[in-house]
Amino acid sequence: MERERWIDAAPGVRLWAEERGPADAPVLLLVMGAQASGIGWPDELVDLLVERHRVIRYDHRDTGRSTWAFEERPYPVTALAEDAVAVLDGFGVERAHVVGMSLGGMLTQLLIADHPDRLLSATVIGTNALSTVPYTAPDGTRVPPQELPGIAPELLELWSRPVVERNLEDELDHRVEHWRMLGGDQLPFDAAYARELERRVVEHTGHHRSGDAHGRADSSGMDRTEALARTEVPTLVTVAPAEPVSPPPHPQHLAQAVRGARLVEIPGMGHALPREVHAPLAAAILAHTAEHTAGV
């Protein structure tokens, strides 16, 4: 059963959210990436998670059906993490397992650091550590975070282009090409699947305008080095070998920065959620949440 809800997260900011699964199951909150609607979590993946969880996904502000008002009411990136807490409050959830992807992985780290009492566990996908701790390579070399591998050049070039208005089919073409780049080079790219996912996002949103609010939001004040190093929130970090945004060893660095974090590799994965990764990713998440649900 799907249940929609509108949540007043801040003055003038209303968020769309949806819950699926048994009302009495442990809650799992899905936090998407920058400028990505909650519908970006594919239904097929959500269905796998619903087998053991009451799953909540939601639209960030300036995405999907949530309030688009950055020009009138600009906000810092940290406000998006507080929105996640507001979503839990809106559903009456005291503690939840949280899974964050890309920017959502950074927001999950903010929740680990700032709201540990609200988390049963955390899973972080495709993101960088909010920590200044150097990465210690297998040979013992210590590498400052700013010297770790960067974003693939073709993505940087695409992201540097100005946001322009396109007709629907041209916008879908653009988004499919974006997903092709994000998916990496180890799994076959299914353009039809990516197009259908984005068409569902457009239908859900009600328009196909592109946004860039999250890229313009103030990203200062996000360092959580000390809090991550002493956290007791059980954290799982996924390793995506074809990741073009936060390539290895970023996951390894993140696992070193977050106290007690564990790594799990998802074969062939890039910075996307194609069909091929649904089963292994869901299995990894469910194994992690099961380990930290007992007795709750």
| Structure-token pair, residue 15 | 């968020």
SS3 at position 9: strand
Query: In this predicted structure, what is the pLDDT of residue 293?
Result: 84
pTM: 0.97
| Tens-digit pLDDT profile for residues 11-67 | 999 999 999 999 999 999 999 999 999 999 999 999 999 999 999 999 999 999 999
For residues 69, 75, 77 and 82, what is the CA-based torsion angle, rounded to 10 degrees? -90
- Average pLDDT on 111-132 reads 98
Q: Which of 55-64, 187-196, 277-286, 287-296 has the lowest mean pLDDT?
A: 287-296
Closest C-alpha to 240, from 251, 232, 229, 230: 251
Report how far apart, in Å, the C-alpha atoms of 176 and of each of 42, 143, 169, 179 are: 15, 35, 10, 5
Fold of 2-150+211-291: Rossmann fold (3.40.50)
- Average pLDDT on 164-184 reads 95
- CB atoms closer than 10 angstroms to residue 253: 23
| Tens-digit pLDDT profile for residues 192-233 | 999 999 999 999 999 999 889 999 999 999 999 999 999 999
- Those residues with Cβ within 8 angstroms of residue 93's Cβ, 6 or more apart along the chain or in another chain: 27, 29, 56
- Those residues with Cβ within 8 angstroms of residue 84's Cβ, 6 or more apart along the chain or in another chain: 29, 31, 58, 98, 107, 111
CA pair distance 268, 184, nearest whole angstrom: 8
Is the per-residue pLDDT at 1 higher than 60? no
Closest C-alpha to 208, from 186, 175, 244, 248: 175
CA pair distance 197, 160, nearest whole angstrom: 24
Query: Percent helix, strand and coil across the chain, each rounded to 5?
Result: 40, 20, 45
- Average pLDDT on 177-187 reads 97
Instruction: Look over the chain and give the mean of its residue pLDDT values, rounded to a whole number.
Output: 96
Is the per-residue pLDDT at 179 higher than 70? yes
